[in-house]
């Protein structure tokens, strides 16, 4: 506010130092010119409001936004369903398989969806090579439009487009030909997660191998990954980040451990600081995470599927899951204690429907694809392999 | 054996220098700064305890905080016992904590050494004592200096004001805190020199014959005056020292209090005591993070809703909830600095829901700091009297520190000593350079 007192003080300045006069006049003139321009803009806005032109503008913008939402829904195939757990893919697209290890070596295989057949070996590591070295390879399937987030155990992250990583010959996967995103000294690559849909959700949930969870608001998460650092999300030294998943406020997070324990919790109850949600035994760790959306229409709320190391399928209706309300609980058991003692272990899983595909990475280095409908009906992979290393789902 | 450097740990800016082979090397500690040899004394500590200083700290802070989201949770911090008559009860105390706060920015760290009640601060889950805060900053300075010199640094001569406190016991305690911080930062040997004396060492290099010199070291936190005999290293003598805890940051506060608070509703009727208290708190940058509580937002929103100074309230809300306070304080400081060269400047600041424009003249600035001028004149006269010298016996007056460029103080010195005796020194680096010289003498 320009008051009389201030004007008097400006005059005093000019009287004391006449050289200040042109400086003051220039500042005031610039300000007047700026205010005049703004006044004209406001007057123009007023006229537009009175002649309804502004209303037309707003209506046009609303129509445009509605059109964009419609487009997005069509892109995601299922009306009302936005699932962050597994990628979705159209018939004309390709499934992109990534096998990677803690040293930052990433192998990519591109498999056109039209070529998928039940039980078909879609990719194969070079036979005879000891392709599993000190650490177990990790495995993820995404669609070709995804953005990938590489998470290191230090909490550092890196974003890459699927196209940034060169494709390998799917029939001769070989670590020697892998794309390398070398971790920094003392660091290990722990997860590659698809993140293209993050804008559609309220939260990013960061989950550790030992069942610790941290909830990050979507806006903050975007700024974190822009800074290439989301934090390790762990509390115990031997623990490591497991992965990330996106969820809406009203969704339920589901964690599945290697020893077959499952825990579900309302996303609203999850903490912003790192807390232990699922209490695991000393040797246990997480193998699968997914989100059950309450906004999913009932007809598509089918079931979830868990794959064991021996190729057996555990299939449950979603109504079987009983969400818990307190932290540090053991969760529900997916199979009996006897089976656990005899060595049955989980290698992956998620929400699944009849039309989806499952990809299994065997210890032999072979990756096979399987229609979920068949897995539901047979309860096991055909010709069960000697051991599975990973299992990933692809939604159609 | 490691190197020995001089470090000027200033209230607003710091610097590191080394004296070797007859040359002073001012180290480019902050390569992101316009003047790389000057590093802002600000420290940013993230939630995972990563540390940044100087321009990097400011940039990190901006990136993480401006327009960010917040989520307040109520946290139990302790309990208070109430005793009264035959009554006794215990009450739980809760505070609202922003769970999403990515980091804490600490500025004017050195002023903690002049505050008898300041012990430290909570940074997320850890309590940092004052010596630990300073240690974090000095350690980062040391590491950067070692990287530049490519050799380990084991010893340091640290600058200190002539007085932290008038009370000798308190003064010694503050020096001990600074020493403890330097030792914890990894320096094996630590000694001190008064900052104005260090500036004198630097000036002495230009002398061809002995002189009586008054060092007017006027920085961000204190004014330090030293009257010395210089020019013959064997015959150096300190006639008198003096100082006062008034400097650049106090002038910034005066500008905010007298010129800026009205933009945020000061003086508007019907705002109520609570809002007026919040507005008054704006003069202290350090408390602004604590103002952004859900309750503050509620009362500001209600004021907007009831059309009580809605524009000012919205601007105030934006300033404290969008973490714009640091940028705002910088703008105030830059406006003040511009007045050293020009008779008028504009304090213009804009951000989300906030736009300030204030034409500010040198005449207004001098009015706003009139009380301080009187106090500074008194300290200067006292120091001259204590030296036993007449103004005419002082051969040169050396100005150093950013605030020494403020024209009204130059005029004050000119009136007392005459224009020819006033010598400009490197405002930001002369103390650092002098400390490096002192460090080499100690070696």
Cβ distance B68 to A231 less than 8 Å, yes or no, reads no
Nearest-by-CA chain B residue for A34: B357
Residue position matching structure tokens 């992956």: A348
The string of pLDDT tens digits covering residues B225-281 is 999 998 887 787 889 988 888 989 899 999 999 999 999 999 998 898 999 999 998
Cβ distance B363 to A12 less than 8 Å, yes or no, reads yes
* Portion 6-25 of A in contact with B at CB < 8 A: 6, 9-10, 12-13, 16-17, 19-20, 23-24
| pLDDT of A71 higher than 60 | no
Q: How far apart are CA B383 and CA B215, in angstroms?
A: 11
Q: Which of the 8 DSSP states describes residue B264?
A: G
Cβ distance A231 to B359 less than 8 Å, yes or no, reads no
Q: What are the phi and psi torsion angles at B179 (to 5°)?
A: -65, -45
Pairing of strands A332-333, A261-266: antiparallel
Q: Which range has highest mean pLDDT (B143-147, B280-284, B322-326)?
A: B143-147
* Portion 127-186 of A in contact with B at CB < 8 A: 155
Q: How far apart are CA B344 and CA B115, in angstroms?
A: 34
- Which runs of consecutive H residues, i.e. helices, occur in B185-239? 195-204
**Which chain A residues touch B63 with a CB distance below 8 Å?**
223, 227
Please check whether residue A53 touches B, CB under 8 A.
Answer: no
State the number of CA atoms in the 13 A half-sphere of B248 facing the CB.
28
Query: How high is the pLDDT of residue A130?
Result: 60
Q: How far apart are CA B331 and CA B315, in angstroms?
A: 16
Nearest-by-CA chain B residue for A32: B357
**DSSP E strands: which ranges in A7-137?**
94-100, 105-112, 121-124
Q: Count of H helices and E strands in chain A?
A: 6, 22
Cβ distance A272 to B343 less than 8 Å, yes or no, reads no
Q: How far apart are CA B277 and CA B43, in angstroms?
A: 28
Q: Which of these, A313, A289, A351, A376, lies nearest to A78 by C-alpha position?
A: A351
Query: How high is the pLDDT of residue A299?
Result: 47
Query: How high is the pLDDT of residue A91?
Result: 57
Query: How high is the pLDDT of residue A72?
Result: 65
Query: Mutate which of A19, A34, A220 to disrupt the B interface (most B C-beta within 10 Å)?
Result: A220
- Long-range CB contact pairs, A6-15, < 8 A, 24+: A6/B359, A6/B364, A9/B361, A9/B363, A9/B364, A9/B367, A10/B344, A10/B359, A10/B361, A10/B363, A12/B361, A12/B363, A13/B343, A13/B344, A13/B361, A13/B362, A13/B363, A13/B364
Q: How far apart are CA B120 and CA B118, in angstroms?
A: 6
- To the nearest whole angstrom, how far is the Cα of B432 from the nearest Cα of chain A? 34
Query: How high is the pLDDT of residue B96?
Result: 75
Nearest-by-CA chain B residue for A8: B364
Cβ distance A20 to B362 less than 8 Å, yes or no, reads yes
Pairing of strands B153-160, B3-9: parallel
Residues B37/B138, Cβ–Cβ less than 8 Å: no
The string of pLDDT tens digits covering residues B72-117 is 777 777 788 888 777 788 888 887 777 777 888 888 889 889 888 8
- To the nearest whole angstrom, how far is the Cα of A37 from the nearest Cα of chain B? 16
Question: Please, which residues bridge with residue A313 across strands?
Answer: A307
Cβ distance B343 to A217 less than 8 Å, yes or no, reads no
Chain A with chain B: Cβ pairs closer than 8 A: 67
Q: Which range has highest mean pLDDT (A180-184, A197-201, A370-374, B118-122)?
A: A370-374
**Which chain A residues touch B262 with a CB distance below 8 Å?**
1
Q: How far apart are CA A86 and CA A74, in angstroms?
A: 17
Cβ distance A220 to B68 less than 8 Å, yes or no, reads yes
Query: Mutate which of B68, B344, B411 to disrupt the A interface (most A C-beta within 10 Å)?
Result: B344
Query: Mutate which of B339, B342, B359 to disrupt the A interface (most A C-beta within 10 Å)?
Result: B359
pTM: 0.57
Q: How far apart are CA B174 and CA B197, in angstroms?
A: 19
| pLDDT of A74 higher than 70 | no
Domain limits, CATH 2.120.10.90, in chain A? 87-394
Q: How far apart are CA B416 and CA B216, in angstroms?
A: 13
Q: How far apart are CA A219 and CA A223, in angstroms?
A: 7
Please check whether residue A223 touches B, CB under 8 A.
Answer: yes
pLDDT-based confidence at residue A19 (cuts at 50, 70, 90): very high
Residue A134, both tokens: 């000190």
The string of pLDDT tens digits covering residues A134-173 is 567 888 998 877 788 999 988 888 888 888 888 998 888 8
Query: How high is the pLDDT of residue A15?
Result: 95
Q: What are the phi and psi torsion angles at B327 (to 5°)?
A: -65, -40
Cα dist from A332 to A323, A336, A339, A340, B188, whole Å = 9, 11, 15, 13, 58
Q: How far apart are CA B219 and CA B427, in angstroms?
A: 9
**Which chain B residues touch A6 with a CB distance below 8 Å?**
359, 364
- To the nearest whole angstrom, how far is the Cα of A252 from the nearest Cα of chain B? 21
Cβ distance A20 to B342 less than 8 Å, yes or no, reads yes
Cα dist from A131 to A100, A135, A173, B242, B437, whole Å = 11, 10, 9, 75, 62
- To the nearest whole angstrom, how far is the Cα of B106 from the nearest Cα of chain A? 21
**Which chain B residues touch A231 with a CB distance below 8 Å?**
47-48
| pLDDT of A79 higher than 50 | no
Q: Which range has highest mean pLDDT (A224-228, A313-317, B153-157)?
A: B153-157
The string of pLDDT tens digits covering residues B287-311 is 776 677 788 889 999 999 988 999 9
Q: Find all residues with CB under 8 Å of A60, minimum gap 6, and list them.
A: none
The string of pLDDT tens digits covering residues A115-128 is 888 888 899 887 55
What mean pLDDT is predicted for residues B350-358? Answer: 88
**Which chain B residues touch A25 with a CB distance below 8 Å?**
none
Cβ distance B359 to A28 less than 8 Å, yes or no, reads yes
Query: How high is the pLDDT of residue B25?
Result: 93
Q: Which among A13, A17, A223 has the least Cβ separation from residue B68?
A: A223
To the nearest whole number, what is the mean pLDDT of chain B?
89
Residue B284, both tokens: 């202290």
| pLDDT of B315 higher than 90 | yes
pLDDT-based confidence at residue A395 (cuts at 50, 70, 90): confident
What mean pLDDT is predicted for residues A252-277? Answer: 92
Q: Count of H helices and E strands in chain B?
A: 14, 20
- To the nearest whole angstrom, how far is the Cα of A236 from the nearest Cα of chain B? 14
Q: Which of the 8 DSSP states describes residue A104?
A: S
Query: Mutate which of A18, A202, A223, A226 to disrupt the B interface (most B C-beta within 10 Å)?
Result: A223
- To the nearest whole angstrom, how far is the Cα of A183 from the nearest Cα of chain B? 19
Between B126 and B393, the higher pLDDT residue: B393
Residues B257/B332, Cβ–Cβ less than 8 Å: no
- To the nearest whole angstrom, how far is the Cα of A102 from the nearest Cα of chain B? 23
Cβ distance A24 to B344 less than 8 Å, yes or no, reads yes
**Which chain A residues touch B362 with a CB distance below 8 Å?**
13, 17, 20
State the number of CA atoms in the 13 A half-sphere of A340 facing the CB.
13
Residues A132/A173, Cβ–Cβ less than 8 Å: no
Query: Mutate which of A3, A11, A13 to disrupt the B interface (most B C-beta within 10 Å)?
Result: A13
| pLDDT of B13 higher than 70 | yes
Please check whether residue A228 touches B, CB under 8 A.
Answer: no
Q: How far apart are CA B156 and CA B144, in angstroms?
A: 14
Cβ distance B69 to A6 less than 8 Å, yes or no, reads no
Residue position matching structure tokens 């040359």: B23
CATH number of A87-394: 2.120.10.90
Q: Find all residues with CB under 8 Å of B236, minimum gap 6, and list them.
A: B228, B229, B230
Cβ distance A28 to B69 less than 8 Å, yes or no, reads no
The string of pLDDT tens digits covering residues B145-172 is 999 999 999 999 999 987 788 788 999 9
* Portion 269-328 of A in contact with B at CB < 8 A: 272-273
Between B71 and A390, the higher pLDDT residue: A390
Q: Which among B64, B344, B363 has the least Cβ separation from residue A27?
A: B344
- To the nearest whole angstrom, how far is the Cα of B77 from the nearest Cα of chain A? 17
The string of pLDDT tens digits covering residues A83-99 is 555 555 555 578 899 99
**Which chain B residues touch A227 with a CB distance below 8 Å?**
63-64
Residue B103, both tokens: 């980091």
């Amino acid at each position: 506010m320009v008051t009389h007192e201030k004007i008097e003080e400006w005059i005093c300045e000019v009287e004391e130092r006449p050289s200040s006069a042109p400086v003051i006049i220039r500042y005031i003139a610039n300000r007047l010119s700026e205010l005049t321009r703004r006044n004209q803009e406001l007057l123009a806005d007023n006229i537009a409001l009175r002649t309804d032109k502004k209303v037309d503008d707003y209506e046009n913008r609303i129509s445009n936004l509605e059109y964009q939402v419609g487009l997005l829904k069509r892109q995601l195939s299922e009306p009302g369903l936005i699932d962050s757990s597994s990628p979705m893919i159209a018939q004309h697209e390709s499934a992109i398989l990534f096998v990677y290890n803690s040293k930052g070596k990433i192998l990519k295989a591109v498999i056109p969806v039209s070529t998928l057949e039940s039980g078909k070996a879609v990719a194969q590591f070079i036979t005879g090579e000891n392709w599993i070295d000190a650490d177990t390879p990790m495995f993820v399937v995404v669609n070709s439009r995804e953005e990938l987030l590489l998470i290191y155990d230090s909490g550092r992250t890196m974003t890459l487009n699927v196209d940034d990583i060169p494709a390998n010959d799917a029939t001769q996967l070989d670590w020697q030909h892998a794309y390398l995103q070398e971790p920094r000294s003392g660091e290990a690559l722990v997860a590659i997660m698809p993140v293209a849909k993050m804008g559609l959700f309220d939260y990013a949930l960061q989950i550790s191998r030992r069942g610790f969870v941290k909830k990050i608001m979507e806006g903050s998460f975007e700024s974190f990954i822009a800074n290439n650092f989301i934090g390790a999300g762990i509390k115990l030294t031997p623990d490591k980040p497991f992965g990330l998943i996106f969820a809406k406020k009203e969704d339920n997070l589901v964690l599945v451990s290697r020893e077959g324990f499952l825990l579900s919790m309302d996303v609203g109850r999850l903490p912003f600081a790192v807390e232990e949600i699922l209490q695991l035994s000393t040797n246990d760790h997480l193998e699968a995470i997914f989100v059950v959306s309450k906004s999913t229409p009932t007809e598509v709320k089918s079931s979830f599927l868990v794959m064991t190391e021996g190729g057996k399928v555990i299939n449950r209706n979603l109504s079987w899951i009983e969400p818990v309300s307190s932290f540090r609980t053991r969760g529900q058991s997916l199979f009996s204690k006897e089976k656990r003692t005899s060595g049955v272990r989980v290698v992956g899983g998620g929400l699944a429907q009849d039309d989806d595909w499952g990809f299994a990475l065997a210890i032999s280095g072979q990756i096979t694809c399987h229609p979920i409908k068949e897995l539901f009906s047979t309860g096991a992979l055909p010709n069960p392999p000697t051991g599975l290393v990973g299992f990933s789902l692809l939604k159609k | 054996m490691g190197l020995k450097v001089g470090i000027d740990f200033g209230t607003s800016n710091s610097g590191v220098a080394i004296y070797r082979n007859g040359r002073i090397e001012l180290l480019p500690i902050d390569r992101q700064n316009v003047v790389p040899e000057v590093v802002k004394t600000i420290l940013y500590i993230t939630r995972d305890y990563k540390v940044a200083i100087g321009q990097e700290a400011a940039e990190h802070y901006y990136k993480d905080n401006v327009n960010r989201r917040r989520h307040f949770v109520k946290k139990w911090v302790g309990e208070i016992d109430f005793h009264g008559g035959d009554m006794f009860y215990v009450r739980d105390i809760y505070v609202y904590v922003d769970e999403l706060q990515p980091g804490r920015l600490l500025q004017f760290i050195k002023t903690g050494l002049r505050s008898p009640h300041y012990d430290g601060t909570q940074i997320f889950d850890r309590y940092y004592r004052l010596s630990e805060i300073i240690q974090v900053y000095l350690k980062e300075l040391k590491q950067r200096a070692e990287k530049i010199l490519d050799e380990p640094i084991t010893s340091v001569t640290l600058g200190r004001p002539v007085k932290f406190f008038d009370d000798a016991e308190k003064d010694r305690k503050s020096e001990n805190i600074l020493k403890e911080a330097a030792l914890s930062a990894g320096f094996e040997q630590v000694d001190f020199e008064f900052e104005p004396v260090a500036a004198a060492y630097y000036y002495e290099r230009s002398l061809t014959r002995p002189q009586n010199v008054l060092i007017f070291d006027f920085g961000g936190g204190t004014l330090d005056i030293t009257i010395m005999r210089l020019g013959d290293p064997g015959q150096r003598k300190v006639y008198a020292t003096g100082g006062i805890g008034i400097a650049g940051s106090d002038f910034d506060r005066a500008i905010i209090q007298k010129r800026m608070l009205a933009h945020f509703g000061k003086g508007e009727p019907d705002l109520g005591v609570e809002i007026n208290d919040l507005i008054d708190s704006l003069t202290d940058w350090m408390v602004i993070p604590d103002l952004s509580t859900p309750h503050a937002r509620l009362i500001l929103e209600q004021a907007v809703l009831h059309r009580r100074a809605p524009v000012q309230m919205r601007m105030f809300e934006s300033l404290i909830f969008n973490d714009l306070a640091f940028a705002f304080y910088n703008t105030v400081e830059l406006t003040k600095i511009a007045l050293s060269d020009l008779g008028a400047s504009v304090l213009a600041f804009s951000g989300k829901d906030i736009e300030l424009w204030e034409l500010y003249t040198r005449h207004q600035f001098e009015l706003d700091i009139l009380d301080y001028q009187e106090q500074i004149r008194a300290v200067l006269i006292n120091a001259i009297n204590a030296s036993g010298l007449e103004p005419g016996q002082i051969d040169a007056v050396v100005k150093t520190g950013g605030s020494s460029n403020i024209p009204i103080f130059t005029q004050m010195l000119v009136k007392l000593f005459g224009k020819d005796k006033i010598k400009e020194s490197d405002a930001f680096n002369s103390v650092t350079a002098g400390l490096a010289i002192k460090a080499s003498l100690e070696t």
